[in-house]
Amino acid sequence: MLTMRSAFSVLTVVILAHASSALAQTGANAADNYPAKTVRLVVPFTPGAANDITARLIGTKLAENLAQQFVIDNRPGSGGILGAETVAKATADGYTLLASNPGPSINNPVLNRKPGYRVEDFAAVIIYGYTPLIIAAYPGFAPRNPRELVDYLKANPGKVTWGTSGTGGGGHIGLVFFQMATGTDAVHIPYKGAAAGLTDLAAGNISLNYTTLASADSLLKTGRLRIIGIAASKRLSQLAEVPTLGESGIAAPAGTPAAIIGKLNRQINRIIATPESQSRFAQLGIEASGGTPQEADAFIRSEAARLKELMRKGLLSVLD
């Protein structure tokens, strides 16, 4: 049974930024009037995915609280690399942020030979929630729960097709961990985003998909998909009948003043603590988090180290 709570079993929503001690003092003055213009919140995925939905919720509330526009800029492509690279190369002034999960901010820069940016190009503002990955299945797929799934995979090694939102993404790494923990072998089918893979799954072109409740919600409600299991430590209240198997965020370019990071952190902590946000997060199967930039940053560094260890052991390969 999988019991890990990490970037590899849950998608983490985090805002990243970096500030050196030298910038912290000059940034204090900059934060007094921040934001003085429109802030761009880059989502490296297609509209409708979990990161997009939560980024719009957070962005709307930040706009209300700070009396300035926060515009969502969807930049999908290459497993989130396109959007993340856009932010990594933007001016470090707090006006370009990244609403990300571990795929673009950890997995891609570690796994890819030439990703165009590094984990160190971002520093965390806040982790605002965790959403467990779910194993969604085509309704006609025989196994009905995790135990039956493992037995079926062992009886059919290398035959079951398992989709994710892309190579190096959270679903892909989660699949690697699932196979390590269960001693099974499935055929990974990477897609360019969550929507395409889920559409193929509903059509019966593949058997399984590692995704999030938010991304698969409409297909689940209409019965075109069903859930075999959830990678979480406890059952979700809205899916109490679904057994468990056992972390989306915002970032800014390195060099963003620490005072601006702190201001954003305080605002987002307040937003996710409201009953409205708590209710919406629960509907999406997201556990609201919060905390300090330092805590979020420590999480990212530790997960990057774990990924490098998997590569050292030969369990993951460098991507071209």
Written in H, E and C, the secondary structure of the chain is CCCCCCCCCEEEEEEECECCHHHHHHHHHHHHCCCCCCEEEEECCCCCCHHHHHHHHHHHHHHHHHCCCEEEEECCCHHHHHHHHHHHCCCCCCCEEEEECHHHHHHHHHHECCCCCCHHHEEEEEEEEEEEEEEEECCCCCCCCHHHHHHHHHHCCCCCEEEECCCCCHHHHHHHHHHHHHCCCCEEEECCCHHHHHHHHHCCCCCEEEEEHHHHHHHHHCCCCEEEEECCCCCCHHHCCCCECCCCEEEEEECCCHHHHHHHHHHHHHHHCCHHHHHHHHHCCCEECCCCHHHHHHHHHHHHHHHHHHHHCCCCCCEC
Q: What would the pLDDT profile of 195-217 be if each residue is shown by its tens digit? A: 899 999 999 999 999 888 888 88
Q: What would the pLDDT profile of 159-204 be if each residue is shown by its tens digit? A: 999 999 887 777 888 888 788 878 899 999 998 778 899 999 999 9
The class level of CATH for 10-131+247-312 reads alpha beta
- Could you give the CA distance from residue 17 to residue 250 in angstroms, rounded to a whole number? 8
Confidence of residue 97 (pLDDT cuts 50, 70, 90): very high
How large is the average pLDDT for residues 16-41? Answer: 66
Confidence of residue 137 (pLDDT cuts 50, 70, 90): very high
Location of each CATH 3.40.190.10 domain in the chain: 132-239
Location of each CATH 3.40.190.150 domain in the chain: 10-131+247-312
Domain 132-239 of CATH type 3.90.1150.220:
no
Confidence of residue 61 (pLDDT cuts 50, 70, 90): very high
- Could you give the CA distance from residue 7 to residue 34 in angstroms, rounded to a whole number? 31
The amino acid occupying position 15 is: I
- Could you give the CA distance from residue 29 to residue 74 in angstroms, rounded to a whole number? 31
Nearest alpha carbon to residue 82 among 73, 93, 92: 73
